[in-house]
Amino acid sequence: MRRNALLAFATAALVASGLAVTTARAAESEHSLEHQRWSFDGLFGTIDQAAAQRGFQVYKEVCAACHSLSLVAYRNLGAIGIGEDQIKAIAAQYNVMDGPNDAGDMFERPAKPSDKFVAPFANANAARAANNGALPPDLSLIVKAREGGPDYVYGVLTGFVPPPAGVTVPDGMYYNAAFPGHQIAMPPPLSDGSVTYADGTEASVHQEAHDVVTFLEWTAEPELDARKKMGVKVILFLIVLTGLAYAVKRKVWKDIH
Ligand code: HEC
């Protein structure tokens, strides 16, 4: 009897923690965003590395023209399974300002794996000037920074639709179903075939959006995978410990009754 009660308690605790994670996410989305299936959903979810790598390609070839990713260093890409040599080659495609050298001058050099992602614009004013006065936000934490998280970012990327009758959108603005206020200064960044995936995945707008959001989930919470794996281990350990403690208790008390 007692053993059953214990087991039931442990199971209930597990289920409850799983539910808490899911409902926390659900409560965040307000704009009736369609929930997508994410590899990182739920208690046992992890970042799908192949999707994250494809998403990095989308970021690098499309989004990086306007959006910085200032909290991520090139070497961090190792965590989504990109090899060291490839990381070196990626970093070397960019130039960073370094210095001062012995003569007191600043100088440009190719980026190293330890450098943070090089931003597309020198400063916020330059970024605004190139984007019709609007500032493309840094994307490192965007998935965490917005209500609705991954579903919201996916919603913005796939939400460019013709405005409803009677709504006029000013020059340089675009109608977007998911963006609050529905007028966004970002031109639709994705189209079918914006990138060519090396693994042969078909690059539809939905696929590209899904992949880049998986990548941005990782940049926003790079330690998520490790934390979830540790959490599962801890819970397994506690269940085993509970069983052991119970067995010991029975043995110790056997003769005393
Ligand atoms: C041509 C430049 C440009 C490109 C390319 C671009 N963006 Fe943007 N993006 C902007 C600008 C400008 C804004 C600010 C819009 C505003 O505030 O109206 C923005 C805003 C956003 C937002 C923020 C919405 C919010 O809630 O504030 C997200 C998310 C976003 N972009 C993601 C992306 C992703 C992902 C890509 C690549 C697939 C991308 N963008 C490509 C210019 C761009």
**DSSP output for 24-68:** HHHHH--S-PPPPP-TT-STT----HHHHHHHHHHHHHTGGGT--
Of 66, 140, 147, 169, the residue with max ligand 1 atoms within 8 A of its CB, to mutate for a pocket test, comes to 66
Q: Is 193 left (phi over 0), alpha (psi -120 to 50) or beta?
A: left
Residue list for the binding site: 63, 66-67, 186
State residue 109 phi and psi, 5-degree precision: -145, 160
- For every one of its 257 residues, what pLDDT tens digit does the chain have, with 9 covering 90 and above? 456 666 666 666 655 555 555 544 444 334 578 999 999 998 888 999 999 999 999 999 999 999 999 999 999 999 999 999 999 999 999 999 999 999 999 999 999 999 999 999 999 999 999 998 999 999 999 999 999 999 999 999 999 999 999 999 999 999 999 999 999 999 999 999 999 999 999 999 999 999 999 999 999 999 888 888 899 999 999 999 999 999 999 999 988 76
The C-alpha torsion from 156 through 31 and 184 to 53, rounded to 10°, is: -20
Strands (E), the chain: 95-98, 107-110, 174-175, 183-184
What is the 65 CA–ligand 1 centroid distance (Å)? 10
Question: What global pTM score does this model have?
Answer: 0.84
Model pLDDT, residue 24 = 47
CB of 211 closer than 8 Å to CB of 202: no
CA nearest ligand 1 atom 29, residue: 153
CA nearest ligand 1 atom 25, residue: 179
What is the 156 CA–ligand 1 centroid distance (Å)? 9
Reading the block at residue 135, the tokens are 């500032």
CA nearest ligand 1 atom 28, residue: 153
Euclidean distance between CA atoms 49 and 55, whole angstroms: 9
What is the 99 CA–ligand 1 centroid distance (Å)? 32
Model pLDDT, residue 229 = 86
CA nearest ligand 1 atom 15, residue: 185
Model pLDDT, residue 225 = 83
Q: Which CATH code, of 3.10.450.50, 1.10.760.10, 1.10.8.590, 3.90.320.10, is assigned to 2-72+116-253? A: 1.10.760.10
What is the 31 CA–ligand 1 centroid distance (Å)? 18
Domain ranges of the chain: 2-72+116-253
Model pLDDT, residue 54 = 98
| Interior/surface letters 117-135, b for 16+ CB within 10 angstroms, e for the rest | bbbbbeeeeebeeebeeee
Q: Identify the residues whose C-beta falls under 6 Å from ligand 1.
A: 58, 62-63, 65-67, 131, 134, 136-137, 142, 146, 153, 156-157, 184-187, 189-190, 212
Euclidean distance between CA atoms 212 and 153, whole angstroms: 9
Model pLDDT, residue 167 = 93
Model pLDDT, residue 16 = 57
If we measure between CA atoms, which residue out of 63, 23, 21 comes closest to residue 211? 63
